[in-house]
A and B are shown apart, each in its own frame.
Chain A
């Protein structure tokens, strides 16, 4: 209690300084939480596209980005014919632009594709997909920002497409995307006879290993991964996640420097008081504990404030209509834990030098210090 009192008393003496260093930690925690959560959300959404009613994904070995992957149509049909496979959906990814909307994700899919089957159709007839040349289906949000509905004609790239349906899916990328019949997409993107990936649903989950081997045997250029495996190994995801943590980490580093600065000032202006504590029987460890306790308290309060601010920011972003559906603001417990732990560790690391300095103060010398 008396230790806590000492800590709080000292923090209150320089309340502005204290609040500033708490704010430093709070900002970095909020930044890290938001950036990591949003990027993880995107990764989750993107994986969601791939794993829609499937558990394996087949793509070209050693590509850095799925947009560059190319799976020949005959390989796709041979995969579909494998005994372990229940269904296989070739998907061609592309990016298209329309007036004022430079980046719209485009999915070239077959008419039996699980994505179409599982989405709820807001307008149009699921049966008509792939029947007529140039007929596309829009995600509901894409329909919104393109101001299009069933029957409208939408200019995409150099061509025009006829909207035959609007569907609603929970996935932000899909909801803001365009679905084209696979053949049309192949023509449009000049990728005749190929798809980017084949998503596969197996008859039996235990067949994964056998399936992978069959795919390798089928073509040395292709690789099959379980969705989980893919999410962990796909380099774009890794880059995104690493970037998120790095951005957050830099923020925390700054926060930590703020704490270090505060604690150095706090110790240097209190040398005599620390000497008094020593003379009154405080051990080095107890003195160090007071200093570390002070920074731990600052970081803890800062982290709490940062979590609150970060959650509020995520909530706000999620509800900005322009970003509708693109933000998956579900905070992962592990991320929360890591962010808070990092904040505390930074706080304590920042106070390490000041604490050691305080522990080394010699009472005799400090007592002569006015």
Chain B
């Protein structure tokens, strides 16, 4: 409630979008129609709205995977369209978790999680230590050497969370992270996500259809037809 009445001062927001527009096929498919959004560091924010309203598109823009047609996306005070080193940004500032875990099925849980750390040039030893902590926190310590194929849906999603947090990002972008899980597992994974991000001071922006889960977040943003129509 308070957020809506006292918008975060610009300098404090970790993610800020200003009048962001995005369309596909040369404007034929208008997806985002002027998104203004500010998110405070450490907050867990849920992004709700009907299918096709542009949630994933917005997450991709915030994660620097794509650029808006118009408007600016600013992360930690830096305009992403002016950012030179997007690889560094993806490695150190952003973690992604997707609906379909997007893990490499024939690698083990450990190998999947080491990928971002090794890509970022961290030593194997440091990476393994970090993974050790995350595995304990997610209850996956016995699954490190299992191939993804042999893990359950919930375990896969927990692996994806570990992987996203490997390089200690300041922002975690989750696109329907519990979308493919049953209700019970989904609740457990969500709690883990929320707990971990809170615990480590990570800002969470999560697209979800599950209003029950969204209610538990610090903020809930409703999108409709590429606009923000309601906030809580």
- Please tell me if the beta carbons of B167 and A281 are within 8 angstroms of each other in the complex: yes
A280 / chain B contacts, CB cutoff of 8 Å: 90, 96, 115-116, 119, 163
> Taking the complex as formed, is A286 at the interface, i.e. its CB lies under 8 A from any CB of chain B?
yes
- The interface centre, meaning the residue of B92, B96, B98, B119 with most chain A CB atoms within 10 A of its CB, is B119
Contact with B along A91-117 (1 / 0, CB 8 A): 000000000000000000000000000
Give Cα distance in the complex from A12 to B60, angstroms: 32
What residue of chain B has the Cβ atom nearest to residue A277's Cβ? Answer: B115
Question: CA–CA, A283 to B115, complex, Å?
Answer: 12
- Whether B111 lies near A2 (C-beta < 8 A) is yes
Neighbouring A residues of B116 by C-beta, 8 Å: 280-281
Contact assessment for B104 and A9 in the assembled complex, using a CB-CB cutoff below 8 Å: yes
Q: B176 CB to closest chain A CB, in angstroms?
A: 13
Q: Is residue B106 within 8 Å, beta carbon to beta carbon, of the partner chain?
A: yes
Known A2-B114, A276-B102; contact A364-B60, beta-carbon cutoff 8 A: yes
Does A1 sit at the interface, judged by CB under 8 A?
Answer: yes
- Check: B107 CB closer than 8 A to any chain A CB: yes
- Contact B106–A2 (Cβ < 8 Å): no
**Nearest CB on A from B58, distance (A):** 12
Q: Which of B65, B92, B98 has the most CB of A within 10 A?
A: B65
On whether the beta carbons of B115 and A279 are closer than 8 Å, the reply is: no
A62 in the interface, Cβ–Cβ < 8 Å?
no
| Alpha-carbon distance A367/B114, docked complex (angstroms) | 21
Q: A2-B111, A2-B114 are in contact. Are A281 and B120 (CB under 8 A)?
A: yes
Q: Within residues 77 to 122 of chain B, which ones have a CB less than 8 A from any CB in chain A?
A: 87, 90-92, 96, 98, 102-104, 106-107, 111, 114-116, 118-120
Q: Is B124 located at the chain interface by the 8 A CB criterion?
A: yes
Q: Mark A1-12, 1 if CB is under 8 A from B, else 0.
A: 111011001001
Does B66 sit within 8 A of A, measured CB to CB? yes
Assess the B96–A273 pair: CB atoms within 8 A.
no
Contact (Cβ within 8 A) B98 A283: no
Name A's B-contacting residues (CB within 8 A): 1-3, 5-6, 9, 12-13, 272-273, 276-284, 286, 362-364, 367
CB closest residue in chain B, given A1:
B124
- Are B107 and A5 in contact, with the CB atoms below 8 A? yes
User: Residue of A at shortest CB range from B124?
Assistant: A1
| CB closest residue in chain B, given A9 | B106
Residue with the highest number of chain B CB atoms closer than 10 Å, among A272, A281, A282: A281
List 3 tightest A-B contacts by C-beta distance, closest first.
A281-B91, A280-B116, A364-B66
Residue from the list B103, B104, B118 in contact with A3, Cβ < 8 A: B118
How far, in whole Å, are A284 and B90 apart by their CA atoms in the complex? 13
Q: Assuming A2-B111, A276-B104, A286-B119, is B87 touching A281 (CB within 8 A)? A: yes
Shortest distance from the beta carbon of B100 to any chain A beta carbon, whole Å: 9
Neighbouring B residues of A279 by C-beta, 8 Å? 63, 65, 90, 96, 102
* Alpha-carbon separation in the docked complex, A280 to B111 (Å): 13
Whether the Cβ atoms of B65 and A283 lie closer than 8 Å is: no
Closest beta carbon of chain B to A333's beta carbon, Å: 37
Q: Chain A residues near B104 (CB, 8 Å)?
A: 6, 9, 273, 276
CB distance from A177 to the nearest CB of B (A): 62
Q: How far is the CA of A216 from the CA of B90 in the complex (A)?
A: 76
Residue of A with least CB distance to B60? A364
Inter-chain CB contacts under 8 Å: number: 62
- The minimal Cβ–Cβ distance linking B179 to chain A, given in whole angstroms, is 14
Give complex CA distance A286, B116 in Å.
11
* Contacting residues, chain B, for A283 (C-beta < 8 A): 87, 119
Contact with A along B151-173 (1 / 0, CB 8 A): 00000000000010001000000
How far is A5 from B111 in the complex, measured between Cα atoms in Å? 9
B90, B91, B167, most chain A CB atoms within 10 A: B90
Complex Cα gap A286–B114 (Å): 15
> Which residues of A have CB within 8 Å of B60?
364, 367
Does the CB pair B119–A281 fall under 8 Å? Answer: yes
Docked complex Cα distance between A150 and B163 (Å): 86
Alpha-carbon separation in the docked complex, A9 to B104 (Å): 10
- Verify B65–A364 contact, CB threshold 8 A: yes
Complex CA–CA separation, A153 to B154 (angstroms): 93
Say whether A282 contacts B107, CB under 8 Å.
no
Enumerate chain B residues within 8 angstroms of A284, measured Cβ to Cβ.
87
Q: A2-B124, A282-B87 are in contact. List 14 more A-B contacts (CB 8 A).
A: A2-B111, A2-B114, A272-B102, A277-B119, A280-B119, A281-B87, A281-B116, A281-B119, A281-B120, A282-B119, A283-B87, A286-B119, A364-B60, A367-B102
Bound complex: CA A364 to CA B104 (Å):
18
20 contacts between A and B (CB under 8 A): A2-B114, A2-B118, A5-B111, A6-B115, A273-B104, A276-B102, A276-B103, A277-B119, A279-B63, A279-B96, A279-B102, A280-B116, A281-B91, A281-B120, A281-B167, A282-B87, A286-B119, A364-B65, A367-B60, A367-B65
Chain A residue at smallest Cβ distance from B115 = A280
Which chain B residues lie closer than 8 Å to A362 at the CB level?
65-66
| Known A280-B116, A280-B119: A9·B107 in contact at CB below 8 Å | yes
Most chain B CB within 10 A, of A12, A284, A367, is at A367
A13 touching B119 in the complex, CB below 8 Å, given contacts A279-B96, A364-B60, A364-B65: no
In the complex, which of the residues B65, B106, B120 contacts A363, with contact meaning CB atoms closer than 8 Å? B65
Q: How far is the CA of A277 from the CA of B90 in the complex (A)?
A: 11
CB distance from B193 to the nearest CB of A (A): 17
Pick from B63, B103, B104 the residue with the most CB of A within 10 Å. Answer: B104
